[in-house]
Amino acid sequence: MRRSIIIGLAVVLAGCSAPSAPKTEALPKDFALRSAAITLPADQVSLPPAAEIVTINCTACHSPEMILSQPVLDAATWQKEIDKMRTAYRASIDPKDDAALVAALIKMQQTPTTPN
């Protein structure tokens, strides 16, 4: 019995092999990384102070111009957008902030904005 177990184990292990190392292509000898500085344009629009919850939850990924240029949406549609950001894009929006975030987004759409 023990001999058959050993033989069976040997057969199983014989089918296993170490994974091959990934193939890498050599870089050209004169290849070098260089730092580059860029200057981004200043934001032309800012979110109103009353929309701090939008600033906290949205501007890590979206510019104020992008946020303010969205079509007028109702509360249910904004909630779907927030849910999508959380699930599809892993946005770290705390669900307890959803109602305040929806209210702020709707209020921003009802208030005209002016450039900085």
> How far apart, in Å, do the first and last CA atoms of the chain sit?
84
Q: Report how many domains make up the chain.
A: 1
The model's pLDDT over 18-60, given as tens digits with 9 standing for 90+, comes to 667 777 788 888 889 999 999 988 767 788 888 999 999 999 9
The model's pLDDT over 57-93, given as tens digits with 9 standing for 90+, comes to 999 999 998 999 999 999 999 999 999 999 999 999 9
Asked whether residue 100 is domain-assigned, the answer is yes
Asked whether residue 36 is domain-assigned, the answer is no
- How far is the CA of 1 from the CAs of 11, 13, 85, in angstroms? 15, 18, 59
Range of the domain at 95: 41-116
Q: Are 54 and 104 in contact (CB under 8 A)?
A: yes
CATH at 111: 1.10.760.10
Compute the radius of gyration of the chain from its Cα atoms.
27
